[in-house]
Amino acid sequence: MADFPLNPKQPATAAMAERVVNVKGRSLWADARHRFLRNKAALAALIGLIIISAFALFGDYLAVWSNEELDFNVMGMIAEEGGPSFANGHYFGTDDLGRDLYARTVQGTRISLMVGIVGSAIAVVVGTLWGAVAGFLGGRIDAVMMRSVDILMSVPYMFVLILLLVMFDRSITMLFLGIGLISWLDMSRIVRGQTLSLKHKEFIEAAMAIGVSTPIIIRRHIVPNLLGVVMVYATLLVPNMILIESFISFLGLGVQEPLTSLGALIAEGTKTMNYGTLWQLAFPLFFFVMTIFCFFFIGDGLRDALDPKDR
C-alpha cells in the first residue's frame, strides 16, 4: 500500500514513475566489446596474441646474439652442444650454421605477423572498395566488376603468387603486395552481398533523396556499416596470409636470407630433425601454431560478438 499515493486525486502512474530507475543503454560497439570479453576462449587468444606480439617487437632486447651472428664454438658440434642453453645465451639453441635460434625466431615471428597484417590490410582495402562500389552501383557496372572477380578466382592464386615472385624481385615488399593482391577476391564478394542489403535501407534512400553524391554515400554510409563484417573476415584472413607465406617460404621463394620467417625456420627445422636437433623445429612451430590459433579464436569471438541474431 505504501507504493501508491495517499491522495486519490494523484494518479498512481505518477508515483510509480518516480520509482523508475533510469538505465543507460549501451552502444553497438560497447555491447560487442562486453560480449567479446565474456568469451573466455577469445579473451585468452587476445592475451596470447598480445604476448606473441610483444615477443616479436621487444624480444631482441633479451637476445645475447644477433640473428646473423655466428657462434663458431657450436658450429658443426653434436646435437647436445648446440641445444638450448642459458649459459651461452642460446635460449632456443642454434641452427646448423651456429646462428642463435632465439633471435631468428623473434625475427621470423615479426616478419610473419607483418606479412599477415599488411597482406590482410591490402586485401581488405581493395576488396571492400571493389565490393561496395559494385554492389551500390549495380547494373552493368556490377556485372562487369563481379565477372572479372569470377575470372580471377578461376586462376590458381598460388600459381599467380609464385609467378609474381619469379618474374619480379623476391623482396619482402613484393611478398606483401603479392599476397595482398591475390586475397581480396573473397572479401569483395562478401562486401558486395552486404552492400546489396544496405542500399535499400531508409537512411541510404534518404541520403540519395537529398542529393548526396555516390562517393560520399559509399564512404560515409556504406563502408562504416560494413566494419563489423570486415573486421571479422580480416581477423580470419591474417592466419591465411601467414599460412600462404609459410608455404611460399617452405618452397624457397619467400623471405630471403639474411631475413627469415616462421615458415622458413620450420622448413630448415624439418631438414635437420632426423639428426636429433628437434629444437630447430619445435620453437618456430610453437609460435607458428599459437599465432594461427590466436587469430582464429579472436575471429570467432568477434563473429559471435557482432552477430545481431545472438542479441
- CA 231, distance to chain mean position in Å, is 9
- CA 124, distance to chain mean position in Å, is 10
Which pLDDT score, from 0 to 100, does residue 80 have?
A: 53
At the fourth CATH level, the homologous superfamily of domain 29-310 is MetI-like (1.10.3720.10)
Look at the alpha carbons of 133, 138, 144, 148 in this order and tell me if their dihedral is positive or negative. positive
Q: What is the pTM of this model?
A: 0.77
Which pLDDT score, from 0 to 100, does residue 45 have?
A: 92
Phi, psi dihedral angles at 292 (to 5 degrees): -60, -45
**What is the spatial distance between Cα 6 and Cα 82, in angstroms, rounded to a whole number?**
89
Domain ranges (residues) in the chain = 29-310
Instruction: Single out the residue of 243, 291, 306 nearest to residue 33, CA to CA.
Output: 306
Which pLDDT score, from 0 to 100, does residue 51 have?
A: 95
Per-residue pLDDT 10s for the chain (311 aa) are 444 455 554 454 544 444 444 445 566 667 777 787 888 888 999 999 999 999 999 988 888 888 777 777 766 554 455 677 777 777 887 887 778 889 899 999 998 898 888 888 888 888 888 988 888 888 888 899 999 888 888 888 777 778 877 777 677 777 777 777 778 888 888 888 888 888 888 888 888 888 888 888 888 888 888 877 888 888 888 888 888 887 887 777 777 777 888 888 888 888 777 776 788 888 999 999 999 899 888 888 887 777 655 55
Question: Residue written as cell 553524391?
Answer: 213
| CB-based contact 260:111 (threshold 8 Å) | yes
- Other C-beta atoms lying within 10 Å of the C-beta of residue 303: 19
